[in-house]
Structure 1
Amino acid sequence: MKPLKLHVFTLFPEMFEGVLGSSILGKAEQKELVSYHIVNFREYAQNKHSQVDDYPYGGGGGMILKPEPLFHAVEDVLGFTPHKSQKKRPRIILLCPQGEPYTQAKAEELAQEDELLFICGHYEGYDERIRTHLVTDEISIGDYVLTGGELASMVIIDSVVRLREGALGNEQSAKTDSYSTGLLEYPQYTRPADFDGMKVPDVLLSGHHANIEEWRRKESLFRTWQRRRDLLESYSLSEQEKAWIAEFEKTQTSE
């Protein structure tokens, strides 16, 4: 697998220094599994005041990001003009409240790419030509509005990089994370087995791997049923899992 190239177009490059250099993201770069390229697209502004925004046509509050700086910045990084060239462009992601809701499935999809570009906006919004002629994806990390796209891009980068082969010390970790299986993750425990009277479930101390696996499956299903039943709408339940849910419902009714 080729190293993943990540380009971030932002007006605030200093925001990324601590995040990309720390923890899994920093170690992944040290292992040459990923490279980060932070671009201040203000440097591509075409006037003496380095202006990247302007008032919207038709009036209205706030300022809108101009198309020229972003188009020129992306063109400089790619080495060709995306909206004029027949070359296949990499995924160019616009962080936007109007975008597709971000999910673990999308993270797994993006983790298969060799190169990703992230555009972080500020101010009131983007010139619509950025959406229609430059980007390939619009993504939202939730139904709320942030000051800019920087934090959202960090969230996506973190979720993608940790899925790359070699990024985690234990490759099994990513496979059992919440949402990776379609369900929330089961409860986890570590030493001591008895802390102030709060004990680890006996099955986890039994050494019986089949029983432990069954307990984890059931607990994962229960936690999902209890907290995020919407996830079960698209999850294919086995007969055993259907029986467990009937058990959960029976217990709830009797309480």
Structure 2
Amino acid sequence: MAQDHSHKNYSHTQRKITARGGHRTTRDSNRRTLSQNFLVDPHAVELLMTVADPAGTVLEPGAGDGVLTRALARRGAEVTAYEIDPLLAAKLSAQIRGEHGIQVIRGDFTNAKAPRTEFAVVGNIPFSATARIVDWCLRTPALTSATLLTQREYARKHTGDYGRWSLTTVLTWPWFDWQLRGHIPRTSFRPIPSVDAAILRIARRRVPLVDTRASYTALVRAGFTGIGGTLRASLHTRYPGVDRALRAADIADDTVVADVHPHQWVALHSALIG
């Protein structure tokens, strides 16, 4: 069965925990429906902190039991932790009461109002909400970086680790750098999910690679239509001079769209649009 790694929930655990009589408790149901897999490996926590290098204002989606929340605060960050599960949110709020630099908000992170000043996002996010959380980050003007524990497949797909590039990555490349910064085994979580995780780092570029977002976006979307099977076939009827521009960007005529590196898209846009 084909898997849509951007939207599906792949956090099903190896063992189904049930209460007496075979009935799920509220907590068990929340773990399944909210894709809750808590990070328990201190080495993984430390690796995530090293990659994130948190400072200043940090928003944490899916705080869970607060392992990352406290680690972020110990690094000196001012943490606003979002937790959609009311039971976990209440428990974490009680546990951190009086601790400096931590605020817990019960609610869906993707409905949060973003700060107007610079901030970062760091979190062990629910696999089922990955696409929505990433989209929220990419739309937020003051975001400096997002360091996220995601499904490994998602991180590899969106950082070119397979040698192919996703539409989302290419569309945002002039403004954001996408990096795969480490693999986290599924045994680092409880309950244990069915797949490994990875650290995805999305960092805003201080200087964009493209000046005009509208023309770049139109070019990329035209290329990803897939008409004719190659990038040249998708573009040659829409953009005069595309053959010259492809040569300037070092893109062969028979190159399929997904094989074009984001930097080549930037060069192609420069050659076509200026």
**TM-score normalized by structure 2?**
0.28
* Higher CA-based Rg: 1
